[in-house]
Chains A and B, each alone.
Chain A
Amino acid sequence: MAPETAQVDIGEYKYGFSSPETPIFKTRAGLDEDVVREISAHKNEPQWMLDFRLKAYATFRRKPMPTWGGDLSGIDFESIFYYLKPTEANARSWDDVPDDIKNTFDRLGIPEAEKKYLAGVGAQYESEVIYHSLQKDLEDKGVIFLDTDQALHKHEDLFREHWATIIPPTDNTFAALNSAVWSGGSFIYVPPGVNVELPLQAYFRINAQNMGQFERTLIIVDEGAYVHYVEGCTAPTYSSDSLHSAVVEIVVKKGGRCRYTTIQNWSNNVYNLVTKRAVAYQDATMEWVDGNLGSKLTMKYPAVILKEPGAHGEVLSIAFAGEGQHQDAGAKITHMAPNTTSVITSKSISRGGGRASYRGLLRVNPGAKGAKSKVVCDALILDEHSRSDTYPYINIGENDVDIGHEATVSKLGEEQLFYLRSRGLSESEAAAMIVAGFVEPITKELPLEYAVEMNRLIQLQMEGSVG
């Protein structure tokens, strides 16, 4: 064990380091039609994609900024860099990744994790995916795991069949922005009946200042197939803000199952405004496991559309809002067919003046007979400066349904802390234990390595947070 003095900055954001910026191509700051054209031309895209981008750009300019949720007034769209290509290569081996970038991912532990427990890895740095791998046997079974730009070129038909069908650019302002300037992200296709046992992971890193990262992920799980996709994300701590605005679309066909796990740990200068939505067909299962620990403001409501009978949707989310943070997170479920089921479990923690909001929408369409849904939102407030809000919207258009909603708000109890401290745990250890217990219903759903990581991140957030 290293001496404790080596860890004096414990409780600080651990991933705030940055590397020198050495792009091989970068658009100018700010956004107009020319920038959109430049990105598309640089990527050598087919005409239809350029047309799609330009139309989305027009939509973005037309749409107002959302006024509900978090405070977006701090975003200066003209100072953001929308596209930055860090390196020429999309490497298949870490040895071919430029040293600066490889060092960054080494420090984040990605190559090590890949060796131990992942079936495939994508690593995005700024706007481009710089490394990609997939286990050979999965490739042989027809599994596709590429960055989205490559997929457009290599599998254009499959790509086009699903692209923007679930989240059209007109969906919301930030979906429009993403559609105009998207770059990178993951494209996954799992053929019928194929079970991808180990997780596929993508890691998103912003390094440059005033950067906008707009990855676009499309996952297609064919009939009876299974995949677990995990994404992690970090950024350096800068005094000026960065913007992360992704779009994630998922199709889960008959009897398939997809689990999408996010451990969002952006630095506190990142606006994280992400649209995530899945469609589940007959007897399919879609699960979002969504951990939000970092960022300045997160607005993210993973959605599942239960389109055919027997489909099941689940959203498990943890939001941890520390000093200067606002986590406006939640879930959206739409029951469109009979005998569809859903569960939303949301746990939020706020401390140090942070604000955690649960915002959820549960909709049952007329005719979705026998739909069942359970919503549980629990909030834990660690001190009197912090805030927790719940905005549960429920819209039921069918009588034959079974809907349950529970919400609790609790405060970190002095008696509970004293009890644990009387057993020898320091104040922050005791508080971290209470918080870890509070989020346990969600961490127990994570693969062991991620559960350990999540608890470690919570402990870091908790250091020096009480007393």
Chain B
Amino acid sequence: MRPLLRSAFWKGTHVADLVIEGLRAEIDGKEILKGIDLEVSKGEVHAVMGPNGSGKSTLSYVLMGHPSYEVTAGTVTFKGVDLLELEPDERSRLGMFLAFQYPHAVPGVTVSSFLRQAINAHRKGGPDGADNPISAKEFGNKFRAALEMLQVDKSLSSRYLNDGFSGGEKKRLEILQMAMLDPELAILDETDSGLDIDALKIVSQGVNTLAGPELGVLVITHYQRILNYIRPDHVHILMDGRIVRSGGAELALELEQSGYAGVAPQQEV
């Protein structure tokens, strides 16, 4: 008999790993998210699609805890923990990952040194944790596998983080970081932008390899193109800070045919 450990089982329902309810957020006094409800569980791939200015990047930043955004209402829990109470690094160590649309450069810090320190920060688990650094061998094996998966030359390891990287190299490195950090929920913010078709295929294959029962994926995108390679289970249309329609993979195709105005005509405020 299955033990009843979580309150959810008492109610006979399954609680998703990421639960967003009534989320509102603003930046510089301007409200961008106007009440988002969304649930993502491990093993699922969700796509959030929306036109420019709909709040897509804001959603990903707010979920990761960007300090410029203020949450004014709503709740977000991840694995039952109140996410909004956590610092960005705590969210990361809890299993969240954001692949940035515009990754930042850190000159002077090599990719391998950065990855090693990030992994060790996860293994330590916070300022009060005990140091438990990854062994050189384990790191090397994992790194080599990730480089191979994303078809990245190993010379990348001694380059400075995102410094002088092409757009495509940056995006590959984002997914490589994801592979190294083993998140449970990965948000891909416009990962397809700036990628040519070959790079898009490689990056998507990387995501598909990582996706599985232990990973939830939230693909944030303007265009349907990436969804040809990363097949979503659920598609949500985001317009003006709200999710106006949700459906299955077919919704992305409908969007491709009719455009945003076509799939979500005249949404009443």
> A residues within 8 Å of B by Cβ?
1, 4, 413-416, 418-427, 429-430, 433-434, 436-441
A438 with B108, Cβ < 8 A, contacts A4-B128, A425-B117 known: yes
Q: Is the CB of B114 within 8 A of A422?
A: no
Task: Please name the residue on chain B nearest to A467 by beta carbon.
Answer: B87
CB distance from B185 to the nearest CB of A (A): 13
CB distance from B171 to the nearest CB of A (A): 14
Q: Which 10 A-B pairs have the closest CB atoms?
A: A437-B108, A440-B108, A437-B109, A424-B92, A421-B88, A419-B104, A424-B121, A423-B118, A421-B89, A416-B104
Q: Which residues of B contact A430 (CB under 8 A)?
A: 89
Q: Is the CB of B109 within 8 A of A440?
A: yes
Known: A415-B104, A420-B106, A433-B109. 19 other contacts (CB 8 A): A413-B104, A416-B104, A419-B103, A422-B91, A423-B89, A423-B92, A423-B114, A423-B177, A423-B181, A424-B89, A424-B118, A424-B181, A426-B87, A426-B126, A427-B89, A429-B89, A433-B117, A434-B109, A437-B107
Mostly, the A contact residues are helix
Q: Which residues of A contact B126 (CB under 8 A)?
A: 426
A424 with B67, Cβ < 8 A, contacts A429-B117, A437-B109 known: no
Q: Mark B193-234, 1 if CB is under 8 A from A, else 0.
A: 000000000000000000000000000000000000000000
Q: Which residues of A contact B98 (CB under 8 A)?
A: 422
A207 vs B94: C-alpha distance when bound (angstroms): 47
Q: Does B122 contact A (CB under 8 A)?
A: yes
A427 vs B107: C-alpha distance when bound (angstroms): 18
A425 vs B126: C-alpha distance when bound (angstroms): 9
A433 with B181, Cβ < 8 A, contacts A421-B88, A423-B92, A424-B89 known: no
CB distance from B114 to the nearest CB of A (A): 7
> B residues within 8 Å of A by Cβ?
64-68, 87-89, 91-93, 97-98, 100, 103-109, 114, 117-118, 121-122, 126-128, 130-131, 160-161, 177, 181
Q: Which residues of B contact A424 (CB under 8 A)?
A: 89, 92-93, 118, 121-122, 181
CB distance from B163 to the nearest CB of A (A): 9
8 Å CB contact of A425 from B103, B108, B121, B131: B121
Q: Is the CB of A441 within 8 A of B108?
A: yes
Q: Is the CB of B107 within 8 A of A438?
A: yes
Q: List 12 A-B contacts (CB under 8 A).
A: A416-B106, A420-B114, A422-B92, A423-B114, A423-B177, A424-B121, A424-B181, A429-B117, A429-B121, A436-B108, A436-B109, A437-B161
A437 with B160, Cβ < 8 A, contacts A424-B118, A425-B89 known: yes
Q: Which residues of A contact B114 (CB under 8 A)?
A: 420, 423, 433
A420 vs B104: C-alpha distance when bound (angstroms): 9
